[in-house]
Amino acid sequence: MNSILQHDLNDLENILEKAKRQGIDFLNNLENIPTSNNNKIDPKRDLNNLGLGSEKALKEFKERLAPLLVSSPGPRYWGFVTGGSTPASIVGDWLATVYDQNTQSVTSQGGNSALIEFETINLLLQLLELPDSFLGGFVTGATMSNFTSLAVARQWFGKQFGKDFAKNGISETINILTATPHSSSIKSLSMLGIGSQNYTVVKTIEGNREAIDLADLELKIKELNGKPFILISSAGTVNTADFDDFEAISNLKEKYNFWWHIDAAFGGFAAVSEKYKGYVQGWENADSITIDCHKWLNVPYESAFYLIKKAHVNLQIETFQNSNAPYLGDPLENFNYLNVLPENSRRLRALPVWFSLVAYGKEGFCDIIEKSTSLALHFGNALIEDGSFELLAPIRLNNVCFTLKGDENQDKVGEFLTKLNDTGTVFMTPTVYQNKKGIRASFVNWRTKEEDINIVLEEMKLLI
Ligand SMILES: *Cc1c(COP(=O)(O)O)cnc(C)c1O
């Protein structure tokens, strides 16, 4: 063994203690670490011939690299839709690394870590009150979940014409209908060879809505003259957290032949709260659903899952099977993850979620969801009261989409947000909503408190 590796091995406990210390110092200081910074490094660092060993690498990380990092798991990072790791999720994430399992298969590769993924999906179905007619798996984010779901939808579409697109490539125009798709679904259409421009935009409901207009949807369906299609619908749009009417779409399922995908990256968690579960009523009738865990479940990044109806498992295997060997027997009995999703070798990605669900239970997550939504309302009301701001849309859930009051101030929105983000006190995302420049604050993080909102409002008043 290389002598430096040998030294690290002998010194493992000390090294991990130091890494833990580094992590705890960061977490305990999240409130004071800025949400943005302009620190830079020259990334052309020379590779050492003789390694430094972990301890010195950690020292270099602390001095050179850590200053690049921001308080994104902290309470005032309201950009995008970003959670922050809870204690239990950190435990799960650390242990996933330590145990370093390959979760691609249930039995044949030695080790049964895939059963932990099965169990975690089952716990998630219980959390979201979804039936076990779904088969789920973990991927790195909602983008990959949309990709995985739409890949199976693509295979389904071919089968409606008696064709196997997975084997022979796409040879029919694939009809896609959608109203307010997330950019990652469009990216998925590009990655899937369907084409990022090849979809039909369905109108949204008149007025200040991003949800699909059902009359227009039915009109566009009729224009397809009985041809099959894929519907990409939304449970939580990023600007205004709007939801399509899933009961109504369920009814359309009775009349027309389509694959129904729901991007519920963050909005799916509405199901956890009695107050908001009405938003997703009927979603169990979808063919596939995308949900992110590194958002409202507050686990570290690279955690999302897809749910695809078990009835479609053969299509899923046709799409993702790793060898061309025909499947023998019941596909669910010989189940291996590497045959149903994009990756082959993969980490035990489910573990942070497993720890979170076991540690905090349904109530823990219900509290996070309801607290986030009440903070969003609190912030929205404070903006209105202030008089310098206006909401661009009503607050349905956890996202606040607002702008500087008055059309004459549209030019100032960008500069205002840049200055605000530069304070490092808070981070929000620029957006455009109904042709207006706006700002989006998303409440997702379990650490955020009323106090944080007051701190941010003070900063905003200074800059206006
Ligand atoms: C965040 C988000 C995505 C993309 O998620 P990643 O985890 O960044 O891949 C897709 N859809 C919706 C609705 C989202 O909010």
Give the tens place of pLDDT for each residue, 404-447: 999 999 999 999 999 999 999 999 999 999 999 999 999 999 99
Atom 12 of ligand 1, residue of closest alpha carbon: 265
In the DSSP assignment, the letter for residue 128 is T
The closest alpha carbon to 355, from 308, 305, 300, belongs to 300
The closest alpha carbon to 365, from 304, 283, 293, 263, belongs to 293
Q: Rounded to the nearest whole angstrom, what is the distance from the C-alpha of residue 189 to the centroid of ligand 1? A: 15
Distance in angstroms (rounded) separating the CA atoms of residues 357 and 258: 34
The DSSP bridge partners found for residue 138 are 305
Distance in angstroms (rounded) separating the CA atoms of residues 294 and 391: 27
Atom 13 of ligand 1, residue of closest alpha carbon: 265
Ligand 1 in reach of 81 Cβ (< 6 A): yes
Could you tell me the strand order of the sheet in which 436-442 lies?
Answer: 389-391, 399-404, 436-442, 429-433
Ligand 1 in reach of 301 Cβ (< 6 A): no
Ligand 1 in reach of 429 Cβ (< 6 A): no
Q: Which atom of ligand 1 is nearest to the CA of 143?
A: 9
Distance in angstroms (rounded) separating the CA atoms of residues 236 and 123: 22
Atom 3 of ligand 1, residue of closest alpha carbon: 142
Ligand 1 in reach of 235 Cβ (< 6 A): no
pLDDT average, residue stretch 385-413: 97
Contacts of 117 (CB under 8 A, 6+ apart): 103, 137, 138, 337, 348, 349, 350
Ligand 1 in reach of 143 Cβ (< 6 A): yes
Is residue 215 within a helix (H) or strand (E), and if so which, with residue range? helix 214-223
Q: Which atom of ligand 1 is nearest to the CA of 235?
A: 13
In this prediction, residue 105 carries a pLDDT of: 75
Q: Rounded to the nearest whole angstrom, what is the distance from the C-alpha of residue 186 to the centroid of ligand 1? A: 12
Q: pTM, whole model, 2 decimals?
A: 0.97
pLDDT average, residue stretch 42-46: 96
> Model confidence over 325-359: pLDDT tens digits?
655 567 777 778 999 999 999 999 999 999 999 99
Ligand 1 in reach of 266 Cβ (< 6 A): yes
Contact criterion met (CB below 8 Å) for 238 and 440:
yes
| DSSP secondary structure, 273-306, as one string | STTTGGGGTTGGG-SEEEEESSSTT---SS-EEE
Q: Rounded to the nearest whole angstrom, what is the distance from the C-alpha of residue 305 to the centroid of ligand 1? A: 11
Ligand 1 in reach of 153 Cβ (< 6 A): no
In this prediction, residue 137 carries a pLDDT of: 98
In this prediction, residue 161 carries a pLDDT of: 98
pLDDT band at 88 (very low <50, low <70, confident <90, very high): very high
